[in-house]
Amino acid sequence: MILKEEILVLEGKLIKGIMLENRQHMTVKLLNYGAAVVELLVPDREKKSENIVLTHEKIGDYLKNPSCFGVTLGRTSGRIANGSFSIDGKAYTLEKNFGVNHGHGGLKNFSHQIWDYKIEQKEACTTVIFQYTSKDMEEGYPGNLEVQVSYTLTEENELLIEYEGVTDKKTLCNLTNHSYFNLSGNYRRKVTEQKLKIRSDQFLELNENQVPTGRFIDVTHTPMDFRHLKRIGKDIESDYVQLRRTNGYDHPWILEGKESQIEMIDEISGRKMSVSTTYPSVVVYSYNYPNQEKLKGGKVGSKYDGICFETQYEPDGINHAHLHQGILDVGERYDHKTLFKFTTV
């Protein structure tokens, strides 16, 4: 396993980059600003390694990063309706940074923080452990929340992300990674040309403000049915009210099973990604609203250049009694894992 570290000074901030590479020439490049995945190089069926996530042209662009390339989001990922919630009868008000809603933890969420980190090396894998303490009432959330996000690269071409947290006051915690995947390599083809399978019979309906209504919809006979491997672009432009509301896919699917709940394949390169998670749902976002990001390699990001698999509790669960509330209590430990495994077909 190859390990490299570099020190970067961006707008007066001391930021560090970490690179891990295994014997199969799979490489992950991380940044302690936002505990972010910057690049992920994965071999194709000809053993040619190329980047399979959207990457900013300049490392300094991660300081703004309006589309949240590669970052860790928290305290909560997704939207919270009207920027408000209650715990044990006490109401909390959050920044409405997503229209009338709170989104992805606020304006100064975890993606805009410099994380501490340490590295653990073993013979079969190397782990980078990022740590951050979110102070009581930061972005409106109660409690001092200590979180840890670990990235482990194995010799079996797996990237394991582990989320942990403890709090000194009952609070919300719902962490995810926001990498945009494109298995074609160096984003040479749209993800709409690639295939996707999701082990899910239901998704959550979204209202006009793109917040879950709490209603589950059966995927049968809808464009949201990915129970069998399907080209991502096959139904994405369908005249379906849920897709019109989000300009593409941006919905929570309720996951079935315990492993390989998500599979993505690029048949031309032969790359296959299998995603296994302990979370109950995944928000799939097909980069419907690009922000003219300049990508590494000289390309300007455009619609459907990447796709996110935001494994998490259901967004806005705190405001729906029948969904996962996302509450972390004193004495409990937040503990979730998402594994990305790369093979070829």
d(CA 323, CA 312): 12
Neighbouring CB atoms inside 10 A of 245's CB total 15
β-strand partners of 281: 254, 312
Interval 60-117: pLDDT, tens = 999 999 999 999 999 999 999 999 999 999 999 999 999 999 999 999 999 999 999 9
Phi first, then psi, for residue 139 (nearest 5°) are 55, 20
In 4-53, which residue ranges form alpha helices assigned H by DSSP? none
Tell which phi-psi region holds residue 13, choosing left (phi > 0), alpha (psi between -120 and 50) or beta: beta
User: Alpha-carbon dihedral of residues 326, 329, 332, 336, nearest 10 degrees?
Assistant: 20
Question: Is 251 annotated among the ligand-binding residues?
Answer: no
Catalytic residue among 56, 102, 104, 178: 178
Q: What's the pLDDT at 330?
A: 98
Per-residue pLDDT of the chain (345 residues; tens, 9 = 90+): 888 999 988 888 889 999 999 999 999 999 999 999 999 999 999 999 999 999 999 999 999 999 999 999 999 999 999 999 999 999 999 999 999 999 999 999 999 999 999 999 988 899 999 999 999 999 999 999 999 999 999 999 999 999 999 999 999 999 999 999 999 999 999 999 999 999 999 999 999 999 999 999 999 999 999 999 999 999 999 999 999 999 999 999 999 999 999 999 999 999 999 999 999 999 999 999 999 999 999 999 999 999 999 999 999 999 999 999 999 999 999 999 999 999 999
Catalytic residue among 310, 314, 320, 336: 310
Q: CB-side exposure of 18: number of CA atoms within 13 Å? A: 26
d(CA 235, CA 303): 15
Question: Is 179 annotated among the ligand-binding residues?
Answer: yes
Query: Residue written as tokens 């992920």?
Result: 40
Is residue 25 among the annotated active site residues? no
Q: What's the pLDDT at 1?
A: 86
b vs e for 65-83, b when ≥16 Cβ sit within 10 Å of the residue's Cβ? bebbbbbbbbbbbbbbbbb
Neighbouring CB atoms inside 10 A of 179's CB total 26
Among 53, 34, 174, 184, smallest CA distance to 111 is for: 34
Give the full edge-to-edge strand order of the sheet including 27-31.
2-10, 13-21, 27-31, 36-43, 49-51
DSSP state, residue 201: S
CB 343 within 8 A of CB 27: no
Is residue 178 among the annotated active site residues? yes
Among 264, 266, 254, 267, smallest CA distance to 312 is for: 254
Q: What's the pLDDT at 293?
A: 96
Total residues belonging to the chain: 345
d(CA 93, CA 102): 9
Which pair of tokens denotes residue 124? 């079969």
Cα distances (Å, whole numbers) of residue 284 to 68, 90, 116: 14, 32, 29
User: Alpha-carbon dihedral of residues 54, 299, 65, 194, nearest 10 degrees?
Assistant: -30
Question: Is 178 annotated among the ligand-binding residues?
Answer: yes
- H-helix or E-strand spanning residue 244: helix 241-246
Q: List the domains of the chain with CATH numbers.
A: 2-344 (2.70.98.10)
CB 18 within 8 A of CB 154: no
How many helices (DSSP H) and strands (DSSP E) are in the chain?
1, 28
Among 32, 48, 49, smallest CA distance to 40 is for: 49
Rg (CA), the chain: 19
